[in-house]
Amino acid sequence: MKQAYDEQDMLLKINLLLDNELEENLAAEVRDLIAATPLLSEMYQHELRFRGFVRSRLAQMKMPPSRIQAIRDEILNSPLPHPSSPED
Amino acid sequence: MCATDQGVRRTDLPTCKKQNQHDCQMLSVTNKTNHFRHIFDTEIMPLTDKLYTFAYHLTGSEDDANDLLQETLTKAWRFIDRYEQGTNPKAWLFTIAKNIFINEYRRRAKGPGQVALQDFVAYQEKEETPLTGSLDLRQEMYQYLIGDEVTQAVNSLPAAFRTVILLCDVEEFSYEEIAGILGIPIGTVRSRLHRARNLLKEQLRSYATHMGYEDKRG
């Protein structure tokens, strides 16, 4: 039986849906189609899991507070150029 | 003008509305400095770890990330009068970081960042090729990979691709914000993200296969 949708197009739309980048009426249509189609539902879950996986496992860098403070102090102790500074 | 140039290209920076510049001119020097310090401390500094993470994945090394972080914060302070309160400080800061990365790091012939930058520039010119995607839903072996391997896979992507993944999937910027940060059309953000995710999936599957993981679901 012929599918009523194009897989590549649906993958794109599912990603747009997950990114909150679809117009509300189109988002509703896509959600309905996903709910009614097991393969699309699986595709949707797959994309959702993939995002969660990357987000949770990608290295998040943390700088020691003392280092942040040192950078901040060094920067804020430099002269601030703005409109009424003598150079203007 | 609200700020002196001090050798930094103004085109590298996001613009702010004239009202903010007008406000700047109405304050005394001391009040202005305190006002700007307050903005810097309350809106910019809390983003340091996010900026550091972005810088790390952009440059591919902790040392370069440190340099990029410091240069970005220094530039943000230098042009703090151009920061418009009420706008997205993270987008403002990330735009500065991206511009420094492109303008400064392209001149440095060291480390993987240099190669990545060439990728970044090259991919700007071939965005409009037809979309392709991987629909093989069975292969999720990458779920066994640990954080180091995922980080390595992301960092091995061309800079243009890992940047959109970081901005969208990690930092949760909208396409419009990403377009603003990267200076590309929204349509390009969309197509680049699509390719980036597919590339990353392939990379993760390749890592998983290399490490001997198999898809048990057949």
pLDDT (tens digit per residue) in B166-194: 999 999 999 999 999 999 999 999 999 99
Q: Is the pLDDT of residue B142 over 70?
A: no
> Looking at the complex, does the CB of residue B189 fall below 8 Å from at least one CB of chain A?
no
What confidence tens digit (pLDDT) does each residue in B46-69 have? Answer: 999 999 999 999 888 899 999 999
pLDDT tens track for A24-41: 999 999 999 999 999 999
Considering only residues B11 and A65, tell me which one the structure prediction assigns the higher pLDDT: A65
Q: Is the pLDDT of residue A17 over 90?
A: yes
Dist CA B111 CA B171 (whole Å): 25
What number of C-beta contacts closer than 8 Å exist between A and B?
Answer: 129
pLDDT for B134 = 47
Backbone angles phi and psi of B62, in degrees to 5: -65, -40
- Cβ(B143)–Cβ(B214) below 8 Å: no
pLDDT band at B100 (very low <50, low <70, confident <90, very high): very high
Does the pLDDT of residue B124 top 70, yes or no?
no
A4 touches chain B (CB under 8 A): no
Could you tell me what percent of chain B has a pLDDT over 90?
Answer: 37
Instruction: Indicate if the pLDDT at residue A22 is higher than 60.
Output: yes
Chain A residue numbers with beta carbons less than 8 Å from the beta carbon of B29 are 84-85
Nearest residue of B to residue A22, measured between CA atoms:
B175
CA B54 to chain centroid, in Å, comes to 5
Identity of the residue in A59, A68, A81 whose CB atom sits nearest the CB atom of B4: A81
pLDDT of residue B20: 55
Q: Helices (DSSP H) in B27-170: which residue ranges?
A: 29-39, 48-59, 62-78, 89-105, 111-124, 147-156, 159-165
Taking the Cβ of residue A62 and every Cβ of chain B, the question of whether any pair is shorter than 8 Å is answered with yes
Here the ipTM equals 0.82
Compare all CA atoms of chain A with the CA of B150 and give the residue at the minimum distance: A58
pLDDT grade for A85, boundaries at 50, 70 and 90:
very low
